[in-house]
Amino acid sequence: MPACIVCGGRDWRPLPDPLPARSITTAGRIVDQPLGKAQCTSCALVQRTGAGLLARTDFYEKRYSFYHRPGAERFDRGRYAAMAAWIAGVLPGAPGRVLDAGCGRGWMLQAMQAALPDSRFQGVEPSEEESENARRLGFEVVTSRVGSAWQADEAFDLVYATNVVEHTDSPVEFLAALGHLITPSGRIVITCPDATLPNQEMMFADQNFSLLPAHFEALASGAGLRLLEWRPPPGEVSLRDKQLIVLGRPEAGPPGLPPPAPPDAGSLYDRRCDYLNSWKRCERRLASACAASARAIHFGTSTWGFLLAGYCPAYWDLVTTCTIDGGTGQFLGKPVADTDELRVQAGDVVVLGVDPDKQASFARRFEPAGATCVTWADLIVR
């Protein structure tokens, strides 16, 4: 078994696989591998131990695009704006040079530029396609992984990485590489899922680690950095499962808010198992509800839809169409239609493939049409 990337231990408690030989990535790609995750008995880290790490292939260079889904831009731009405001709010001043490590197609760069208009921005991104998309927005972007052959010509006052560290094969090496890119007084800001409570981020095959806040003290030390501050999520719903970490060189300023102590490992393991098993309960409910419907309509094209398609295949096989406002195109092999043009009616079953916290409000939208609305928020244990 591999060593834990936080404490070095090799004693693991396997977590249940939703399906024995199938999982899905954050880019909506189904892979013929189990999710393969386990919890470290010493520090409660979740690590992908039962399958190969996609970060050790050309997945991010050739096969990754988080944005190829209908409606992505409308949803993600608002989330990036909230993320940028969150990051800008922890900085001691306006940075001169800023690097986005893992910049995707540049939407986060645009949001950060709006939040920090006097800063100069650059991106680094392994995906060839997304690097070119970001360049079309006017940004200087290097197509490379952080820590590989690329070296910056000049140090940065701020390096930030949003939802990247959990995808790497070595968070310590990734953070150490970022540390080599900052000025002596520079800052590294990391945002990533907070694993204190089980959440959807644990379900993706390309996310290799689920990190507790306390884990960043060890990771920072191993990378030759200092943990300066930890922040819980702001009020924005789309960021509620995130955490923000500020790192600097050892000689950087005094530390701020420390991370909270880790929860009890035994109860956390039980909650994680229940969360993973809840997707089997979802499949049974959704497939049963759709079995005799005139039309089985899936509402939503977000990453929640990825999870339902990936881990509830008996349900997904019954879906006739997906729908969102202004929808068009395809979503995981299903046609996407505009909700107004689809004209939901009596006899239809509408499965709300959206954030569990928003399902009740969406259900009220479809009920007047006489359709049967199916929710599953009560099955997901958090």
Backbone phi, then psi, for 128, in 5-degree steps?
-65, -40
Is residue 169, in this structure, part of any structural domain at all? yes
**76 vs 65: CA distance, rounded Å:** 13
Q: Is 292 found in the same domain as 227?
A: no
Q: Is 201 found in the same domain as 80?
A: yes
Could you tell me which residues come within 8 angstroms of residue 322 by beta carbon, excluding any fewer than 6 positions away? Answer: 70, 297, 298, 299, 300, 301, 305, 331, 334, 335, 336, 337, 353
**240 vs 4: CA distance, rounded Å:** 26
Is residue 358, in this structure, part of any structural domain at all? yes
**108 vs 162: CA distance, rounded Å:** 9
Q: Is 246 found in the same domain as 284?
A: no
Q: Is 84 found in the same domain as 160?
A: yes
Helices (H) and strands (E) in the chain, counts: 11, 19
Q: Is 107 found in the same domain as 168?
A: yes
Pinpoint the alpha helices (H) of 90-192. 107-115, 128-136, 171-179
The position carrying tokens 């940028």 is 84
User: Of 263, 292, 326, which residue sits at a domain end?
Assistant: 263
Domain of 212?
1-263
Q: Is 241 found in the same domain as 284?
A: no
Is residue 269, in this structure, part of any structural domain at all? no
pLDDT tens string, the chain, 382 residues long: the values are 899 999 999 999 999 999 999 999 999 999 999 999 999 999 999 999 999 999 999 988 887 776 677 766 777 888 999 999 999 999 999 999 999 999 999 999 999 999 999 999 999 999 999 999 999 999 999 999 998 667 788 899 999 999 999 999 999 999 999 999 999 999 999 999 999 999 999 999 999 999 999 999 999 999 999 999 999 999 888 899 999 999 999 888 777 778 999 999 999 999 999 999 999 999 999 999 999 898 999 999 999 999 999 999 999 999 999 999 998 999 999 999 999 999 999 999 999 999 999 999 999 988 888 899 999 999 986 6
Q: Is 200 found in the same domain as 146?
A: yes
Is residue 270, in this structure, part of any structural domain at all? no
**Helix (H, G, I), strand (E, B), or coil: what is residue 314?**
helix
The domain total for the chain is 2
**Helix (H, G, I), strand (E, B), or coil: what is residue 374?**
strand
Q: Is 358 found in the same domain as 249?
A: no
Pinpoint the alpha helices (H) of the chain. 59-62, 72-88, 107-115, 128-136, 171-179, 215-222, 265-290, 303-311, 313-316, 339-342, 359-366
Is residue 311, in this structure, part of any structural domain at all? yes
